[in-house]
């Protein structure tokens, strides 16, 4: 029985390869209006089977587990379910799709993880354009479908999508037939419905739909375009096929309107781009309310950073600005006066080598160019950081060798700005920073290369040559930076 199943499986794999017969050749030659080179990836139909997301090999295994002794005939739902043309998730023992993939469809290999692209795009705002439409729908209807499709993903993430009429776009959507220039030919009605390319590949953002399908919306008379569009957009954002029941990223099509993300879909997309953050409005102050800034002489600080050569201290929504050792007039001031939209009580901040300022709060971060917000909120998981609520961030090193260090409790992680990714696979302990305590509140590097670590009302100065805290520390922050009287600390 096992031998028979393997023979049938091999036969199906061979049959699924494109054949150079006269019929297909004539079909393609008649389509003179369809250019040869287009750019995108793929989905198929399935009936309502509870675990129908598996590859051909796994379908056989399911049948065996369910004690079905007979091999399904050709034409049964198991073998002929319409599906996505993107290769499936990796199988531990390999599969036909893994072989095809290793041939170069997605950069040569898959990671053995839930997603095809662990990092996704290095952005959260996308543009998209529609090149052509199917015969069953006009452009306005197709536009409405894709407006709804992108909202499915943006509803649970900070992702935003904007349609553009022409020019460059991050995502391109097209309806094509048979061989169309990407060596992933469609097969006419049924079978492969669509395909899309993953991020960080040479065709990233391209999505193809098979023009020959009977595309519908909100009914089971044909193939629901909205459901397939949500699935293929998931691929363009970096998600691989899912085995989870009810997942929109299942490789096989089952009519379900409107499409809804499963918990597995939500967790997967949020692992790449973070959780959607709904900004809560700061409570409006009554005209009789008086906001009192913390006293720098007897407070700790949320974050400290050197920005444009000046030192900024952050606390409870306020900022102090020190230039050449002197507190500037008009400070403390509300931090939102400089960086509109940053959260109240930030956890950490630092300025990178290009002059952008990064702010961290909870599980998210924001990036500003001077006082203009250029990204965020984005999840710290996009940086490879496995924890949230970091306590301090330190840009440390010289010139191109500079790295960013994130601190929390007794641990720290090193971040590579060039790769935009944490380059340490595990946390290190504060023992490496000799003489510096755990649970620091803030950190910064001064213009002379010394690192400063703040905890409570005190700070430690760290020698980059001796790689340890200098003697005579800790000292009081208020005395050294704000000229507070010594008697306040006796």
Gap between the Cα atoms of 271 and 358, Å rounded? 20
Is 68 annotated in a binding site? The answer is no
Gap between the Cα atoms of 333 and 317, Å rounded? 9
Is 15 annotated in a binding site? The answer is no
Largest Cα separation within the chain, whole Å, is 96
Write out the two tokens for 378.
């984005």
Residue 149, CA distances (Å) to 153, 155, 408 in order:
7, 10, 38
Gap between the Cα atoms of 454 and 452, Å rounded? 7
Is 324 annotated in a binding site? The answer is no
Phi, psi of 367 (to 5 degrees): -125, 135
Residues 444, 305: contact at Cβ < 8 Å? yes
Gap between the Cα atoms of 309 and 293, Å rounded? 24
Gap between the Cα atoms of 411 and 388, Å rounded? 12
Residue 308, CA distances (Å) to 321, 323, 369, 451 in order:
11, 10, 11, 17
Residues 376, 370: contact at Cβ < 8 Å? no
Is 155 annotated in a binding site? The answer is no
Pairing of strands 44-45, 252-253: parallel
Count each helix (H run) and each strand (E run) in the chain, helices first: 9, 28
Is 266 annotated in a binding site? The answer is no
Write out the two tokens for 188.
């006419």
Residues 213, 176: contact at Cβ < 8 Å? no
Is 463 annotated in a binding site? The answer is no
Is 452 annotated in a binding site? The answer is no
SS3 488: helix
Is 265 annotated in a binding site? The answer is no
Is 88 annotated in a binding site? The answer is no
CB atoms within 10 A of CB 218: 13
Is 148 annotated in a binding site? The answer is no
Residues labelled catalytic: 232
Is 213 annotated in a binding site? The answer is yes
Is 149 annotated in a binding site? The answer is no
Pairing of strands 428-429, 411-416: antiparallel
Secondary structure letter of residue 281 according to DSSP: P
Residue 22, CA distances (Å) to 19, 28, 183, 190 in order:
9, 10, 18, 20
Who contacts 137 (Cβ-Cβ below 8 Å, separation ≥6)?
Answer: 145, 215, 217, 225
Is 441 annotated in a binding site? The answer is yes
Look at residues 124, 123, 99, 121 and name the one whose alpha carbon lies nearest to residue 110.
99
Is 182 annotated in a binding site? The answer is yes
Is 52 annotated in a binding site? The answer is no
> Across-strand partners of 175?
209
Gap between the Cα atoms of 233 and 256, Å rounded? 17
Binding residues for Zn(2+): 84, 180, 182, 195, 208, 231, 235, 241, 249
Binding residues: 84, 170, 180, 182, 187-188, 195, 208, 210, 213, 231, 235, 241, 249, 302, 347, 349, 393, 441
Binding residues for Ca(2+): 170, 187-188, 210, 213, 302, 347, 349, 393, 441
């Amino acid at each position: 029985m096992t031998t028979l199943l393997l023979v049938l499986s091999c036969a199906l794999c061979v049959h699924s390869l494109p054949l150079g017969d006269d019929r297909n050749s004539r079909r393609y030659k008649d389509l003179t209006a369809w250019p040869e080179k287009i750019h995108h990836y793929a989905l198929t139909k399935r009936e309502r089977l509870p675990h129908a997301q598996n590859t051909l090999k796994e379908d056989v295994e399911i049948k065996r587990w369910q004690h079905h002794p007979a091999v399904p005939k050709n034409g049964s739902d198991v073998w002929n379910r319409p599906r996505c043309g993107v290769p499936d998730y990796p199988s531990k023992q390999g599969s036909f799709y893994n072989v095809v993939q290793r041939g170069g469809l997605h950069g040569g290999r898959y990671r053995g993880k839930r997603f095809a692209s662990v990092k996704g795009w290095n952005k959260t705002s996308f543009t998209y354009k529609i090149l052509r439409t199917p015969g069953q729908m006009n452009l306005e209807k197709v536009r409405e479908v894709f407006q709804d499709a992108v909202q499915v993903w943006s509803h649970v993430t900070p992702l935003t999508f904007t349609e553009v009429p022409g020019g460059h776009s991050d995502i391109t959507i097209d309806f094509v037939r048979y061989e169309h220039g990407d060596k992933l030919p469609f097969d006419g009605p049924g079978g492969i419905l669509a395909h899309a390319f993953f991020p960080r590949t040479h065709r990233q953002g391209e999505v193809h739909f098979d023009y020959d399908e009977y595309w519908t919306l909100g009914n089971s008379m044909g193939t629901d375009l909205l459901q397939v569009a949500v699935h293929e957009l998931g691929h363009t954002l970096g998600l691989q096929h899912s085995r989870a029941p009810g997942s929109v990223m299942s490789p096989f099509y089952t009519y379900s309107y409107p499409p809804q993300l499963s918990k597995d879909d939500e967790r997967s997309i949020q692992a790449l781009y973070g959780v959607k953050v709904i900004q809560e409005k700061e409570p409006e102050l009554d005209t009789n309310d008086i906001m009192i800034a913390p006293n720098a002489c007897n407070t700790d600080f949320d974050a400290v950073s050197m920005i444009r050569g000046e030192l900024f201290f952050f606390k409870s929504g306020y900022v102090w600005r020190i230039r050449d050792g002197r507190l500037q007039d008009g400070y403390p001031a509300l931090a939102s006066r400089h960086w509109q939209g940053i959260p109240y009580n930030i956890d950490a901040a630092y300025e990178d080598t290009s002059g952008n300022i990064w702010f961290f709060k909870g599980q998210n971060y924001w990036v500003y160019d001077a006082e203009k917000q250029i990204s965020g909120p984005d999840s710290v998981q996009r940086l490879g950081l496995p924890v949230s609520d970091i306590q301090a961030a330190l840009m440390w090193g010289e010139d191109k060798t500079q790295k960013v260090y994130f601190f929390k409790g007794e641990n720290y992680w090193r971040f590579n700005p060039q790769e935009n990714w944490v380059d340490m696979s595990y946390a290190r302990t504060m023992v490496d920073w000799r003489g510096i305590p755990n649970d620091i509140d803030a950190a910064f590097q001064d213009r002379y290369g010394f690192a400063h670590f703040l905890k409570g009302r005190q700070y430690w100065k760290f020698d980059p040559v001796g790689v340890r805290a200098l003697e005579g520390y800790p000292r009081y922050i208020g005395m050294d930076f704000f000229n507070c009287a010594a008697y306040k600390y006796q």
